[in-house]
Amino acid sequence: MVKYQGNMMSLRKFVAGNWKMNGTGENLAEVRAIAEGAAGYSSVDCALCLPATLIERAVRAAPGFAIGGQDMHQAASGAHTGSISASMLVDCGATLTIVGHSERREEQHESDAQIRAKAETAIAAGLQVIVCVGESDSVRGAGQAVATVAAQLDSSLPQSEGAAAQLAVAYEPIWAIGTGKVPSIGDIGEMHAALRQRLIRAYGEAGRSVRILYGGSVKAANAAEIFAVPDVDGALVGGASLKAVEFVPIVVAANPADG
């Protein structure tokens, strides 16, 4: 059997920031600075996923720059106090959303089935969607990381017609989020290769074009090495996306040398 060598297609890198529960109006200057900094690297797709309260103002502050949500409800509308729908995100000018972040899977007990439903609703509304998956420390310690994350992906992926065209996947080991710990380059490569195979199994050839982002303590100092791993098509960045001085160098690292 020929060993999998990585996707034959080189995909345009995608670097998305996740501000989590950080940011008020005074941070819009930072959104603008990030948008302006990223604009110089047009061969990289860049986005910020912001608190819902900032989305509309950020879209106005940084016209043409992709602004997204961090979550949304799977239903179109209704009695879901405190939740945001896909059409509300679109109405604010968002063009993408994260679903299935581990903080929501853990804190809100969101299931794979719910995340799949959210992704399908987001796609139907015309949003790009980043579906997050990742293993805990104990799962990795038990040698079950690849099997666990692959199964999580299988049951979280949207099944709607043409879904692959609006989809990115973020592999985020839970133990690497906000901790400064990063898996070895070999472990990242092994996971991304396994996820690529699952995407091809789910979507056929279209699965080769779905970008697989790595997330978990990505910084300017480690980004280039991570981006060089086959099937790492970008990054989902938490802490280092809050400031242009930390985030823009990650976008620069994703920019091909001749770009």
Q: What is the footprint of ligand PEP within residues 17-36 (CB under 6 A)?
A: 18
CB 133 within 8 A of CB 100: yes
Q: Is 218 in the site for ligand PEP (CB under 6 A)?
A: yes
Interface stretch with ligand PEP, choices 56-64, 67-75, 159-167, 214-222 (CB under 6 A): 214-222
Q: Which residue is nearest to ligand PEP (CB)?
A: 238
**According to CB under 6 A, which one of 7, 97, 114, 217 is a site residue for ligand PEP?**
217
CB 157 within 8 A of CB 141: no
The smaller minimum CB distance to ligand PEP, of residues 126 and 178, is found at 178
Binding mask 134-173 for ligand PEP (x = CB under 6 A): --------------------------------------x-
CB 49 within 8 A of CB 69: yes
Per the annotation, the verdict on 172 as an active-site residue is: yes
Per the annotation, the verdict on 246 as an active-site residue is: no
Q: Work out how close the CB of 18 gets to ligand PEP at its nearest, in angstroms, rounded to a whole number.
A: 4
Interface stretch with ligand PEP, choices 25-33, 61-69, 224-232, 235-243 (CB under 6 A): 235-243
Q: Taking the CB of residue 11, how many other CB atoms lie within 10 A of it?
A: 17
Q: Work out how close the CB of 33 gets to ligand PEP at its nearest, in angstroms, rounded to a whole number.
A: 19
| Alpha carbons 44 and 40: distance in angstroms, whole number | 9
Angle among Cα 255, 237, 213 to the nearest 5 degrees reads 65
Measure Cα distances from 83 to 80, 213, 247 in Å.
6, 26, 29
- Write out the catalytic residue numbers: 101, 172
